[in-house]
Structure 1
């Protein structure tokens, strides 16, 4: 039994889920799945590394040169291999230890694993039936525990401070890239690292994934800031919008529509509701206002170890949401050549609805 308590609890939950789904083996590559389950995040290159989990055994196929670095994070057994030997014998020994040498076993593969790793494993098994992690590791990851909640909350409070500082620093002539650097430095002062940052001035906000550049801020220009940091292994994500100077005609109206869409999605977000119904709640508001064709993306994405992970809040998703799910609500309206407005919250589902991580108001920020 592992002496690492989080690993121990998550392995037990995974094995329960494996029994419920008739799964004989779960195989994870050097990915966020492996990090979530075991705390191990080894260097990933062409050398095969896997964590295999069966009902009575779990162990790593581990390149020998990475073993010492990985050992500090786990006491699960290693099956090491060296460059001059190759991984074949170590993989056979690991599979034998897992007790999975019979034919036609049910195997769950990490969908983010390198193809050559996955094929090596499948070739070593006898006619396996394979699927991906949606109903095992992915399902368990989607329901955040208290430690994950605390980490996500701390990351979002750090994000709030950085975004407030960024808006306060707006002045004529400052560039998008300079505001990104300011946000990065604010994160660093709080012990966090930049995960991503999009600062959009004026018509650049009409591109949902704009790359910040040397565009200078001018008076009476819209500002959109979508940014996130990573703190103690977990990320934040938030979008706020406002104006430097006076809003142009129509801006306040569009802002109000997007805010109403956020509120509608928040009201719809409850355990037992389908993801597509939350998307519809936001989309219906924007469509009714005449901007349906200017809402260019899904309403949200899950967030956890990864900045984007299931569940996805999209029109084509029938996933039924559960207590503990964490995801974004971020409707937007994008007007080419003018501006874009997106308001984003990350929420966790509680028994009675959605709890927002950020404590920064969504009000239109007015500077200058």
Structure 2
């Protein structure tokens, strides 16, 4: 390294924020009887330390002892990034010719943690089966530390909410630009270029997932996205995207139509809007995460459209890295989740009804749970289908 790198100059929050989070995570370790935990997911690492990099495809780990200071293991190329984003004092960098597992075991021995009860999160994206099995062979008593940090991430602080609101402002700008670009002869790529350009110009960083934009029959396929198709009169156009501020994300979905939508689309639109309103109205402190989903499903089922809606009604918003912009590990709005809602939780609530393989009517809002219920964070009009003269 050529000279000292200033510590934490690009951290999302002050050092005191991370000190508090580390202290709370230690409480979680002690509650499970763990002497230390290994955190490898980029979301949890960022939450606890501030470290962020698009190079999380190489192995990185935060070693957090129940007593004593944390240590960080990372690829040598990432050291300067780590120093600028994090305040963690101790780190060990491994070279590209070195086995990360060997470096990890050496760091554990250096910290006197070999032979102690160590946990590792098993719920992240980026811990390979091969690495886990090799680590388990070296540490046969390896315990499960999953969910400790995710539970901390559910309720957002005022500073985190401010980031999500900023990400929402960026998504608003992107979706409005996408709707403005809908016209006969434009391509799906034109829409995405407008959306991404507007969101980035509004301050967005790289998002955890690309926008979802599809048109015509392709818009009736879940998670289809742009493939250069040229828009034609009579097309439905589906748009969904996130903003990103300091790795905190938002979510927003709208539907446009080139020409007057057919009667079925208008029928689906009415049910989507009623179900979305019902879900948000049910998102009150103390109610289970299942309540907004059940409220939306009641509207959809009463309309006889249950076969058009085969998914959860929402998911937590917050820290995200690719391949997702939501916090799928933190909380979902679904029948299977009885976790109580609390002020400070944030959710994206996307309600979609499909004529499968033909078109989708999808409208969403991102909400903050407050003492008075769910508050919509975005301000993109209109909530009904956006109609463009063909």
TM-score normalised per structure 2: 0.84
Alpha-carbon offset, residue 263 of structure 1: 0.9
Q: Which residue of 2 aligns with 1:189?
A: 201
Choose which of 41, 49, 58 in structure 1 pairs with 2:52.
41
Q: Any unmatched runs of 5+ in structure 2?
A: 1-7, 9-13
Paired residue secondary structure (2:263): coil
Distance 2:100 2:52 in 1: 19
User: Which stretch shifts more, 29-38 or 117-126?
Assistant: 117-126
For 1:284-306, what per-residue CA distance to the aligned partner results, in whole angstroms no more than 9, with x for missing partners? 11111011111122111222112
Q: Any unmatched runs of 5+ in structure 1?
A: none
1:308 aligns with 2:326: yes
Q: What pairs up with 1:62-211 in 2 under 5 angstroms?
A: 62-76=74-88, 77-82=90-95, 86=99, 90-92=103-105, 94-96=107-109, 98-102=111-115, 105=117, 107-112=119-124, 113-125=127-139, 127-128=141-142, 130-134=143-147, 136-193=148-205, 195=207, 196-211=210-225
1:318 aligns with 2:331: no
Q: Which residue of 1 aligns with 2:15?
A: 4
Distance 2:235 2:260 in 1: 8
For 1:48-67, what per-residue CA distance to the aligned partner results, in whole angstroms no more than 9, with x for missing partners? 43111012231112344433
For 1:28-52, what per-residue CA distance to the aligned partner results, in whole angstroms no more than 9, with x for missing partners? 1262211121111353455x43111
Choose which of 231, 236, 249 in structure 2 pairs with 1:222.
236
Q: 1:301 to 1:94 in 2, by over 3 A?
A: same
TM-score normalised per structure 1: 0.89
1:327 aligns with 2:340: no
Cα contact 1:204–1:340 (8 A) shared by 2 = no
Distance 1:297 1:175 in 2: 29
Runs of at least 4 residues of structure 1 off by over 6 A?
none
Aligned length: 363
Alpha-carbon offset, residue 153 of structure 1: 0.5
User: Which stretch shifts more, 256-265 or 204-213?
Assistant: 204-213
Distance 1:168 1:89 in 2: 54
User: Which stretch shifts more, 329-338 or 137-146?
Assistant: 329-338
1:364 aligns with 2:385: yes
Alpha-carbon offset, residue 255 of structure 1: 0.3
Distance 1:90 1:201 in 2: 49
Paired residue secondary structure (2:85): coil
Q: 1:254 to 1:80 in 2, by over 3 A?
A: closer
Choose which of 352, 358, 363 in structure 2 pairs with 1:343.
363
Distance 1:74 1:215 in 2: 43
Alpha-carbon offset, residue 326 of structure 1: 1.8
For 1:140-184, what per-residue CA distance to the aligned partner results, in whole angstroms no more than 9, with x for missing partners? 112211121111101111211221122122222112121111112
Cα contact 2:276–2:296 (8 A) shared by 1 = yes
User: Which stretch shifts more, 79-88 or 212-221?
Assistant: 79-88
